[in-house]
A and B are shown apart, each in its own frame.
Chain A
Amino acid sequence: MSEAVAIRTSGLGKRYSSQWALRDCTLEVPSGSVTALVGPNGAGKTTLLHMVIGLVEPTTGVVEVFGRSPRRDAKVVLPRLGFVAQDHPLHRNLTIAETLTYGRKLNPNWNQQVAASRIERLGLSTKQKVGQLSGGQQAQVALTLALAKQPQLLLLDEPVASLDPLARREFLNAVMEVVVDEGLTVVLSSHIVAELERVCDHLVTLAAGGIQLAGPIAEIVTSHRLLTGPRSDATSVARVHDVIRESHTERQTTLLVRANGHVYDSCWEQHEIDLEEIVLAYLGYQPGHGASTTMPLREAVQS
């Protein structure tokens, strides 16, 4: 069992009738990392997470969680996984106390104390019906259920998408607390980058059903530069570095590059670039103000 790697996928793909939701996904998520899975809606984030937890059977390729198949070895893998689905489904007519009993009955490693103290800290009464809680509180109860399982890997599918800003902050803080305390591996998906940067140390971007970029965030941020210079061709730069995006105005050329080492050419002015802009470039978005031509060059998107 390779415990250094929490999730390993290789050539993983899922096709729904004729449409590929995800294809050729090869990925390693190291144990102890907090990974942001970023991509636009429909990029295959949910499909990927569902294959990791075993809800969905892959069409092609392999997925392993702590070296095991989540589908075939469900008995071994499931107790080690915590999962909060996108709409954090809960039984609305159960009380919080009953919801915790539900978790206790279905999980061998259940820690009632963890669950009870989290509920208490949230200021909730165990007699309340889940259906009467706010969206943020329901998300917190769903997270409590996942955490009291005492998982080694926590998967959160768009955990904050449906929450208001305050509830978002509280939810992510709760996740961070456990990460710090327990050192567990976390993968959380989102289509918003900004708020994840604070929480995550690894990043995977998914677009059009494939992986665009994967790695430690620090490395990603330091290796990407924004080069500006007089209007020119990008070919000389592209010989050494990966040009992710180029845009030209009448007098000026701007390049976003993944630098392999230093950029020595003195005609380029170098700028640091923040994570959000890097991600947007990879996802083929046009960030901000009027770039005239924009082309994502890396790993041409298959249609």
Chain B
Amino acid sequence: MTWVSWRLQRTETLIAFGILALLAALLIPTGIQMANAYHQDGIAACLSINPSKPVLCGNELGDFQQRFQALTTLANWFTLIPGLIGVLLAAPFILDLENGTYRLAWTQSITRGRWLLGKLGLAVVAAVLAAGALTLLFTWWRTPNVHINGRLDTGNYDTTGTVVIGYTLFALALALALGAIWRRAAASLTVAFVGYFAARIFVDYWLRDQLVAPLKATYKGAQQPNFLYNAHVLSMDGTVNGHQFSTAGGGGFLGGHVQSAAPGISHAIFHVVYQPESHFWPLQLTETGLFAGIAAILLLFAAWWTKKRTA
């Protein structure tokens, strides 16, 4: 069954790893460039003098960020790649149902259970391998960015660590479950990809901060506590010169906000809600578990439905 699964999944697996190869062709040279610039522009040196205070390295960072801005913007889209690879690897299974060739398999000498195990098992293995390669590549590429913006910066967080594997498995299993019912490859893959995107937005913008409770901090004046620099700021409000101001969502640097409020800053009081750097792994593991868990349920459903309902 392994040969059979592999032969029928070969094209999709090669496309998936072709996408990875293209990505590597883009990321490896630019990653080397970025790592070199990080040292040559003196960012590394500045950050080592001012640990976790990138705001004090503004001059060095300015050049660097300007130079790689296009690339960083492009990199925001990379968060869709796990979904793309996941749904792609679901195609061979759904095509077997769509073309009626599952009947050919089921009337050979193997049981449905063995067939399902072979097909779904290999898809899962390929998805985990591809996602693993993806996360290694991104983690290496984003190293300078992680030093500057912290691991919890959205772009850094969702293309590194273990979540990439969870996302890929989720997209795969969602497509498999839809395909088991629908038996239309093109439609199932499209809807699963849209579903993947929707689930990611839901988690990014709302659910993540329910998984691990964020912390709160209050401070006075311009003296921002050190621990806030690499944190992921969810919201911040305060009063400066009698003017109320607040920001919500998509944090990053605190420096910018503080500097813009510079004149009356010493009288200001700030309230900040943030995810500290130390929450990276708890968040990653919880989110990975969530996506992988839903993927497992969807996978079992796809297998059950195919076994019981398909004839």
At the interface, yes or no: A290 with Cβ under 8 Å from chain B? Answer: no
CB-nearest residue of chain A relative to B310? A55
Partner of B4, one of A78, A87, A90, A102: A102
Across the interface, which residues of B come within 8 angstroms of A83, CB to CB?
A: 107
Q: Are A103 and B108 in contact (CB under 8 A)?
A: yes
- Residues in A whose Cβ lies below 8 Å from that of B103: 55, 85, 89
Residue of A nearest to B110 (CB): A106
Q: How far is the CA of A253 from the CA of B99 in the complex (A)?
A: 52
A: interface residue count bin: 20 to 34
Say whether B7 contacts A106, CB under 8 Å.
Answer: no
B8 within 8 Å of A (CB atoms): yes
In the complex, the chain A residue whose C-beta lies closest to that of B112 is A74
Query: Which residues of chain B from 1 to 56 have a CB within 8 Å of any chain A CB?
Result: 1, 3-4, 7-8, 11
A106–B311 CB distance below 8 A: no
Secondary structure class of chain B's binding surface, majority of residues? helix
The chain B residue with its CB closest to the CB of A101 is B3
The 7 closest A-B pairs by CB, nearest first: A106-B108, A83-B107, A79-B109, A89-B100, A56-B311, A107-B109, A78-B109
- A45 contacts the other chain (Cβ, under 8 Å)? no
Tell me, rounded to whole Å, the shortest Cβ–Cβ distance linking B208 to chain A: 42
User: Counting CB contacts under 8 A, is A105 at the interface?
Assistant: yes
A78, B103: Cα distance in complex, Å: 12
How many angstroms from the CA of A91 to the CA of B98 in the assembled complex?
Answer: 12
List 7 additional A-B contacts (Cβ < 8 Å) besides A79-B109, A106-B105, A145-B104. Answer: A78-B108, A87-B100, A91-B101, A94-B7, A106-B1, A106-B4, A106-B108
Give complex CA distance A74, B105 in Å: 13
Tell me whether A85 and B107 are in contact (CB under 8 A): yes
Task: Assign chain B's interface to a size class.
Answer: 20 to 34
Residues on the B chain within 8 Å of A145, using CB: 104
Interface: A108 (CB within 8 A): yes
A55:B109 contact, CB within 8 angstroms? no
By a CB distance below 8 angstroms, the chain B residues around A55 are 103, 106-107, 311
Enumerate 20 A-B pairs (CB-CB under 8 Å) in ascending A order. A50-B311, A56-B311, A74-B111, A74-B112, A78-B107, A78-B110, A81-B107, A83-B107, A87-B100, A89-B99, A89-B101, A92-B99, A101-B3, A101-B7, A106-B105, A106-B110, A107-B108, A107-B109, A108-B109, A145-B104
Bound CA span A108–B111, Å: 13
List A residues at the B interface (Cβ < 8 Å). Answer: 50, 53-57, 74-75, 78-79, 81, 83, 85, 87, 89-94, 98, 101-103, 105-109, 142, 145, 149
**What residue in chain A is nearest B8 (Cβ atoms)?**
A91
Q: What 0/1 pattern do residues 287 to 311 of B give for CB contact below 8 A with A? A: 0000000000000000000000001
Once the chains bind, are B108 and A149 in contact (CB under 8 Å)?
A: yes
Report whether B109 and A98 are in contact in the complex, using a CB–CB cutoff of 8 Å.
no
**In the complex the two chains form, what is the Cα distance from A53 to B11 in whole Å?**
31
With A89-B101, A90-B104 given, is the CB distance from A149 to B109 under 8 Å? yes
With contact pairs A50-B311, A56-B311, A101-B3 given, residues A106 and B109 touching in the complex (Cβ less than 8 Å): yes
Closest to B100 in A: A89
- Give the distance in Å from the alpha carbon of A147 to the alpha carbon of B109 in the complex: 13
Contact B7 A98 (CB under 8 A): yes
Q: Give Cα distance in the complex from A50 to B7, angstroms.
A: 27
A94 to B99 CA separation, bound complex (whole angstroms): 14
Complex formed: what's the CA distance from A55 to B104 in Å? Answer: 10
Q: List residues of chain A with CB within 8 A of the CB of B105.
A: 106
- How long is the Cα–Cα vector from A27 to B272 in the complex, in angstroms? 79
Q: What residue of chain B has the Cβ atom nearest to residue A145's Cβ?
A: B104
User: Which among A50, A56, A83, A102 has the highest number of chain B CB atoms within 10 Å?
Assistant: A102
* CB of A187, distance to nearest CB on chain B (Å): 14
CB-CB < 8 A to A87: which residues of B? 100
Instruction: Pick from B3, B101, B107: contact of A90, CB below 8 A.
Output: B101
| Most chain B beta-carbon contacts within 10 A, residue among A87, A91, A101 | A91
CA–CA, A87 and B101, complex, Å: 10
Asked if B104 contacts A89 (CB within 8 A), the reply is yes
Q: Given known contacts A101-B3, A106-B1, is B100 in contact with A75 (CB within 8 Å)?
A: no
| A94 to B7 Cα, complex, angstroms | 9
A267 to chain B, nearest CB (A): 53
Chain A residues positioned under 8 Å from B109 (CB to CB): 75, 78-79, 106-109, 149
A102 & B311 in contact (Cβ 8 Å cutoff): no
